[in-house]
Amino acid sequence: QVQLVESGGGLVQAGDSLRLSCAASGRGFSEYAMGWFRQAPGKEREFVAAISGSGGNLHYTYSVKDRFTISRDNAKNTVSLQMNSLQPEDTALYYCAAAYTRGTDRYGVSASEYEYWGQGTQVTVSS
């Protein structure tokens, strides 16, 4: 069982930066790929970024590539999302998720591939 708690959301202006963090409890954190998803009002949940268990493989959705950076610290059981050059279209509830991959370098880009989810942290970007 993995429990995830996100933090770091807030209200910022366009062009600003935010850093989201996700703290995981439970054993074997490095055996899980971690992902960030977001859901804007009236829209479906969408993939943002993913990182494999070792941190060696990363993937981003096209709209955030070169602006967002996902990273993890397996010693601290945390995963982070550094978000730069935020735009109003980035406004959403951001979720952290974990997918058991047995420590392989796989990761998922679909919400259905993730077994555990946090409660979300709100990011609001004003123009």
Write the pLDDT tens digit of every residue in 34-79: 999 999 999 999 999 999 999 999 999 999 999 999 999 999 999 9
Residue type, 25: S
Q: Is the pLDDT of residue 26 over 90?
A: no
Distance CA 20, CA 59 (A): 17
pLDDT of residue 103: 77
Instruction: Kindly write down the DSSP assignment for every residue of 69-90, as one continuous string.
Output: EEEEETTTTEEEEEE-S--GGG
Distance CA 81, CA 42 (A): 23
Average per-residue pLDDT for the chain: 96
Query: Three-state SS string across 108-123, please?
Result: CCCHHHCCEECCCEEE
Lowest mean pLDDT, pick from 12-16, 20-24, 39-43, 99-103: 99-103
- How big is the CA angle at 116 (ends 3 and 59), to the nearest 5 degrees? 115
Q: Is the pLDDT of residue 127 over 80?
A: yes
Q: Is the pLDDT of residue 88 over 80?
A: yes
pLDDT of residue 1: 83
